[in-house]
């Protein structure tokens, strides 16, 4: 990183509160999110039972895995994964369970099914997940169609067809790796994450256990990638590069971010966060730091312990950056963790939300139902201005939750 920070654990303005911990009873942390709780909750959940299928409507969500608030005033687009559709709000939602204005992927708000129960088209989706602003437009990881869709402009209506498709030759195809057994630079298999940063498009090609990079926004269907990470070449797709886990390998890459100038990848399958020194420019460049494990060879969830701690992870699917913080959706531990600076391998987090302490991992903090302060399997996180937009998948909802103002003060 270009800058380095020292976390002052004695500064009362930082609101660092010690919580009971069976291992370290004096382990303080900074709350990542505001103590007020989620400001807006999207998704109408009529039952106390978690993760049940919900009848599709303009207000319901089923297992959403990604969300993108384009600007602080909107629009907002959500990957409503279980209903196989994208929902759009013209402006930033102002009330709980506010109805969406637009839909892409289904003929109306009350129908569902992969590719609208038909063949894939430029306006259909099947298990959409990652979603991000891409130049002036939008990119969506259409995972089970094994493709990425790109709109040149942010859609402002229902069922606007995408302009570009990656991973397939055209919008009518949806076979993994185009029907071939091996990977290639123009093929995708279960892409779950997308990121646009400084002119480049980054895709977590999860089923091929790699990250692909396009040096410019693609301009043609099926355009080949320029760079691969996680594999020795564009044709390989074995877990961890066909060897034991190491600084170059990946098992289940899912989300991407840039922390300062440094690339960060959430590798859910290896239960770790991989961080590169700067922006990789060569194929299969090894990362320099990992979080969640004690070394590059370890991969077990929570470092083989039943309870988590401040330096362990269990299937981290989402990441975001705000101020100087890296925020991680530690999905299977139903919490968010925050690191304030890049440091040595296995460094402990300094920030926490969603749980009362670093040793807790219960869904919704063991409450009988979701609250404005709880999380259940958060898959995606995006930060826009002072708002964390969280795809709280296990609760079938999306949260617009203000950040703790003290994040910027420490």
Q: Is the CB of residue 25 less than 8 Å from the CB of residue 37?
A: no
Confidence of residue 52 (pLDDT cuts 50, 70, 90): low
Query: Is residue 25 pLDDT above 80, yes or no?
Result: no
Query: Is residue 9 pLDDT above 50, yes or no?
Result: no
Question: CA 238: distance to chain centroid?
Answer: 23
Q: Is the CB of residue 350 less than 8 Å from the CB of residue 29?
A: yes
Task: Using CA atoms of 395, 399, 403, 404 in order, give the dihedral in degrees to the nearest 10.
Answer: -50
As a whole number, mean pLDDT of residues 249-273 equals 97
As a whole number, mean pLDDT of residues 102-127 equals 98
The third-level CATH classification (topology) of the domain covering 12-409 is Neuraminidase (2.120.10)
pLDDT of residue 21: 38
Output the CA–CA distances (angstroms, integers) from residue 372 to 33, 148, 152, in the order listed: 11, 33, 36
Q: pLDDT of 144-153, one tens digit each?
A: 999 999 999 9
Query: Is residue 164 pLDDT above 60, yes or no?
Result: yes
Lowest-confidence pick of 46-60, 97-111, 166-180: 46-60
pLDDT of residue 235: 97
pLDDT of residue 181: 87
pLDDT of residue 341: 80
pLDDT of residue 156: 97
As a whole number, mean pLDDT of residues 293-309 equals 97
Rounded Cα distance between 291 and 296, Å, is: 10
Residue with the larger pLDDT of the pair 22 and 42: 42
As a whole number, mean pLDDT of residues 57-81 equals 97
pLDDT of residue 46: 52
The total number of residues shown for the chain amounts to 410
Mean pLDDT over all residues of the chain? 92
pLDDT of residue 409: 74
Query: Is residue 128 pLDDT above 70, yes or no?
Result: yes
Rounded Cα distance between 175 and 188, Å, is: 9
The number of beta carbons lying within 10 Å of the beta carbon of residue 305 is: 13
Residue with the larger pLDDT of the pair 38 and 27: 38
pLDDT of residue 26: 54
Name the residue ranges covered by the structural domains of the chain. Answer: 12-409
Q: pLDDT of 217-236, one tens digit each?
A: 999 999 999 999 999 999 99
The number of beta carbons lying within 10 Å of the beta carbon of residue 39 is: 15
pLDDT of residue 53: 61
Beta-strand relationship, 351-353 and 227-229: unpaired
CA angle 205, 209, 210 (to 5 degrees): 60
Q: In what order do the strands lie in the sheet with 289-291?
A: 253-259, 262-267, 272-275, 289-291
pLDDT of residue 405: 93
């Amino acid at each position: 990183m270009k800058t380095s920070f020292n976390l002052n654990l004695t500064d009362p303005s930082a609101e660092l509160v010690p919580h009971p911990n069976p291992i370290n009873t004096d382990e303080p942390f900074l709350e990542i999110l505001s103590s007020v709780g989620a400001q807006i909750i999207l998704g109408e959940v009529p039952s106390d039972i978690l993760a049940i299928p919900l009848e599709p409507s303009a207000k319901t969500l089923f297992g959403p895995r990604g969300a993108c608030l384009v600007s602080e005033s909107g629009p907002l687009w959500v990957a409503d994964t279980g209903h196989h559709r994208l929902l759009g709000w013209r402006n930033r939602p102002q009330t709980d369970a506010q109805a969406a204005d637009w839909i892409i992927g289904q003929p109306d708000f009350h129908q569902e099914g992969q590719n609208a129960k038909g063949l894939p088209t430029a306006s259909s989706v099947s298990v959409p997940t990652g979603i991000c602003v891409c130049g002036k437009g939008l990119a969506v990881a259409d995972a089970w169609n094994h493709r990425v869709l790109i709109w040149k402009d942010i859609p402002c209506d229902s069922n606007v067809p995408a302009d570009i498709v990656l991973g397939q030759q055209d919008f009518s195809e949806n076979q993994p790796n185009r029907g071939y057994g091996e990977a290639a630079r123009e093929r995708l298999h279960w892409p779950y994450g997308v990121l646009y940063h400084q002119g480049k498009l980054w895709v977590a090609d999860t089923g091929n256990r790699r990250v692909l990079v396009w040096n410019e926004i693609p301009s043609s269907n099926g355009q080949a990638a320029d760079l691969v990470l996680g594999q020795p070449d564009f044709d390989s797709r074995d877990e961890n590069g066909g060897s034991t886990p190491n600084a170059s390998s990946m098992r289940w890459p899912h989300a991407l971010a840039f922390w300062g100038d440094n690339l960060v990848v959430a590798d859910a399958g290896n239960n770790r966060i991989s961080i590169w020194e700067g922006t990789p420019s060569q194929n299969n460049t090894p990362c320099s730091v990992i979080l969640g494990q004690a070394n590059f060879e370890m991969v077990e969830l929570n470092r083989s312990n039943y309870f988590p701690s401040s330096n362990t992870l269990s299937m981290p699917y989402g990441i975001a950056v705000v101020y100087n913080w890296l925020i991680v959706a530690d999905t299977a531990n139903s919490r968010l963790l925050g690191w304030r600076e890049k440091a040595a391998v296995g460094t402990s987090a300094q920030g926490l939300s969603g749980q009362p302490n670093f040793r807790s991992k219960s869904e919704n903090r063991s409450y009988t139902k979701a609250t404005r302060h709880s999380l259940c399997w958060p898959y995606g996180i995006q930060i826009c201005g002072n708002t964390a937009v969280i795809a709280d998948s296990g609760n079938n909802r999306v949260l617009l939750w203000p950040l703790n103002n003290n994040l910027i003060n420490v």
